[in-house]
């Protein structure tokens, strides 16, 4: 089988498998307990409200658009999609594995898998910021770049929550610092990552996901420190997004780059 055709088919199969596993986790549910019920066992201060997890529907719709677009015969030999290789399929496999581990409560393995998924999405994001991809026509931005920006934004939040939940499960409560202080630190780290993505990469979609998640944290939590920090961070990210859209935050030129930054 031609290599590019094989890549297309594997990506389609991986997407279908991911959706089936995630759908089963909700509909059956796998393991006899819902994802939200399991999450509620770990009351950490950086977990957003349950409604926020509805973003998965948006992510899967965006990934469906990508999956269909990459599978079209006209795009079979597209150099930009070839550069992604099997990474999108790998992200789907890791997503499904994480769901299975979580639903069947093999919690100790969820963090390594989540970190692998995060790393895979970071590589995809970097490759989509290469000059050959950055100069792509509009459709490429909407059905290839956008889905993975949103996906990476959410998995960044999910990784923070997953690590926090597993530390809580291990019995760690933040000593010598309080849980409130740790919540402030963790949310600040997320803010710094998002600021870098907006200022350096001009990734508005990534920033929008963080606003959605941080607003959900403010809604879910009752600890004043977590609520106000989450709201403050969300406001800062909104301001940065406005600055990028309005052109008041010019992209940072990467070291060694002689051309304009991708937008």
Q: What is the pLDDT of residues 141-166, one digit of tens each?
A: 999 999 999 999 999 999 999 999 99
Confidence of residue 139 (pLDDT cuts 50, 70, 90): confident
Identify whether the C-beta of residue 187 lies closer than 8 Å to the C-beta of residue 196: no
Quote the pLDDT of residue 129.
86
Percent of the chain with pLDDT over 70: 92
d(CA 186, CA 190): 6
What are 101-129's pLDDT values in tens digits?
Answer: 999 999 999 999 999 999 999 999 999 98
Quote the pLDDT of residue 173.
86
CB atoms within 10 A of CB 192: 11
d(CA 111, CA 42): 14
Identify whether the C-beta of residue 200 lies closer than 8 Å to the C-beta of residue 252: yes
As a three-state string, the secondary structure of 222-261 is CCHHHHHHHHHHHHHHHHHHHHHHCCCCCCCCCCCCCCCC
Confidence of residue 263 (pLDDT cuts 50, 70, 90): very low
Looking at the predicted structure, is the pLDDT value of residue 137 above 70? no
Looking at the predicted structure, is the pLDDT value of residue 1 above 60? no
What are 182-221's pLDDT values in tens digits?
Answer: 999 999 999 999 999 999 999 999 999 999 999 999 999 9
Identify whether the C-beta of residue 142 lies closer than 8 Å to the C-beta of residue 99: no
Identify whether the C-beta of residue 124 lies closer than 8 Å to the C-beta of residue 206: no
For tokens 């393991």, name the residue. 31
Average pLDDT of the chain to the nearest whole number: 92
Percent of the chain with pLDDT over 90: 84
Rounded (to 5) percent helix, strand, coil in the chain: 75, 0, 25
Looking at the predicted structure, is the pLDDT value of residue 244 above 70? yes
Ranked by mean pLDDT, the top range of 11-20, 132-141, 240-249 is 11-20
pTM: 0.92
What are 53-65's pLDDT values in tens digits?
Answer: 999 999 999 999 9
d(CA 129, CA 82): 14
Looking at the predicted structure, is the pLDDT value of residue 262 above 50? no
Confidence of residue 258 (pLDDT cuts 50, 70, 90): very low
Confidence of residue 94 (pLDDT cuts 50, 70, 90): very high
Confidence of residue 259 (pLDDT cuts 50, 70, 90): very low
Looking at the predicted structure, is the pLDDT value of residue 136 above 90? no
> What is the mean predicted confidence (pLDDT) over 236-242?
97
Confidence of residue 260 (pLDDT cuts 50, 70, 90): very low
């Amino acid at each position: 089988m031609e290599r590019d055709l094989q890549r297309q088919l594997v990506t389609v199969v991986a997407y279908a498998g991911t959706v089936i596993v995630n759908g089963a986790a909700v509909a059956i549910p796998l393991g006899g307990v819902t994802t939200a019920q399991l999450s509620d066992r770990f009351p950490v201060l950086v977990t957003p409200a349950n409604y926020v997890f509805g973003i998965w529907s948006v992510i899967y719709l965006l990934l469906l658009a990508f999956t269909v677009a990459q599978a079209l015969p006209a795009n079979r030999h597209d150099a930009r999609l070839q550069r992604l290789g099997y990474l999108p399929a790998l992200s789907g496999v890791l997503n499904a594995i994480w769901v299975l581990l979580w639903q069947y409560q093999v919690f100790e393995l969820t963090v390594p898998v989540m970190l692998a998924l995060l790393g895979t999405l970071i590589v995809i994001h970097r490759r989509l910021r290469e000059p050959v991809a950055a100069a792509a026509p509009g459709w490429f931005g909407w059905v290839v770049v956008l889905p993975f920006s949103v996906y990476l934004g959410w998995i960044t939040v999910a990784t923070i929550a997953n690590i926090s939940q597993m530390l809580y499960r291990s019995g760690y409560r933040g000593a010598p610092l309080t849980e409130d202080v740790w919540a402030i630190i963790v949310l600040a780290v997320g803010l710094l990552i998002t600021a870098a993505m907006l200022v350096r990469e001009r990734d508005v979609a990534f920033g929008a996901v963080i606003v959605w998640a941080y607003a959900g944290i403010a809604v879910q939590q009752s600890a004043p420190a977590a609520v106000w920090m989450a709201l403050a961070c969300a406001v800062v990210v909104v301001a940065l997004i406005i600055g990028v859209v309005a052109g008041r935050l010019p992209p940072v030129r990467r070291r060694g780059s002689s051309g304009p930054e991708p937008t």
